[in-house]
Structure formats: structure tokens, C-alpha cells
Amino acid sequence: MPTELNNILNYMQITENIASSGQPLESEFAVIASAGYDVIINLAMPNSQNAIPSEGHLVTSNNMIYIHIPVLFDAPELFHLESFINIMEIFADKKVWVHCVKNYRASAFLYHYLHVSRGFSDAEAQKVILPSWEPNEIWQRFIRIDPKRV
């Protein structure tokens, strides 16, 4: 795995095939591709801080699949999470990179995916939440929701 991955904002290697981060720089998509990632999932809004308007083009020009699930930071919804989990299931045999602006949304969504779909214990799944992040009340509530109830 290229050491350049460590330079990507708030990079975390979650499993052998899943990583998360904050917004990669334009040049970092080539690094992600060279590390063997097949899919990029962007959970940030298109007008988020440091958003790259041509991100879809950058990703696909590096022979990766680009999926954008724009999630308002102040209003994550269950349907966002359900969409995310379904997409993660579709690409379960691929290397997937999930990002947002700072790796807050991404880590909260990955917590649910690992806990619900991959059978990680709550304690194991909580380890993917970015350690430096202190979720506000909105995100604490989101992390506590049970996506299996739907």
C-alpha cells in the first residue's frame, strides 16, 4: 500500500478492502487508484468546503467507479444510510474508498455498515469513527439509530 495514502486528510484503513478519509486532493485520486481501489463513494455536498467540481471525472479517469450520495451535515437521513449500505453490499467484493469533507460522515456511515451488514460488534464498529471527532447531538442521534428497524 502506497505510503502516500497516509498523507490524505484523516485517512483510516478500515478493513483490507475499505478505507475512509476527508476530501482527497485532486492529485490523491491517482494515489488511491494505484493502491487498488475500485470505487469512490463521496458523502459530502457538492458545495462543501474543498469540494472538487470535477471529482466524478477525476475518479472515472483513474478507472474507478464514482458514487455520490450528498448528505447535508446538519440533516443525515435514514434513506441516505440505507442507500449507502445497499451500495456497499453491491460492491462488497471490491476495494471501496468512502470520503466526505473531514471523514465525519464517512466514519459514521461506515460504523453502521460494519455493525449491521458485516456483523462487527458495536465496540469494533465504533473504532472506525474518526478518533479526533466529537459528534454533535445530530450525529450522536444518527449513530444511535437502528437501520435494521426499517
Written as tens digits, the pLDDT of the chain (150 aa) is 457 999 999 999 999 999 999 999 999 999 999 999 999 999 999 999 899 999 999 999 999 999 999 999 999 999 999 999 999 999 999 999 999 999 999 999 999 999 988 999 999 999 999 999 999 999 999 999 877 654
Q: What angle do CA 16, 79, 23 make, to 5 degrees?
A: 50
Q: Which of 11, 4, 14 is nearest to 103 (CA)?
A: 11
Contacts of 64 (CB under 8 A, 6+ apart): 29, 32, 33, 37, 38, 39, 40
Query: Where do the DSSP E strands lie in the chain?
Result: 12-15, 18-21, 39-42, 65-68, 96-99
Contact 108, 76 (CB under 8 A): yes
At residue 61, the pLDDT reads 97
Q: Residue 16 and residue 76: Cα distance in Å, rounded?
A: 27
Residue 107's Cβ-side half-sphere holds a number of Cα atoms within 13 Å equal to 25
What angle, rounded to 10 degrees, do the helices at 78-90 and 104-116 form? 70
DSSP string for residues in 92-105 = TTS-EEEE-SSSHH
- Give the pLDDT confidence score for residue 146 in this predicted structure: 78
pTM for this entry: 0.95
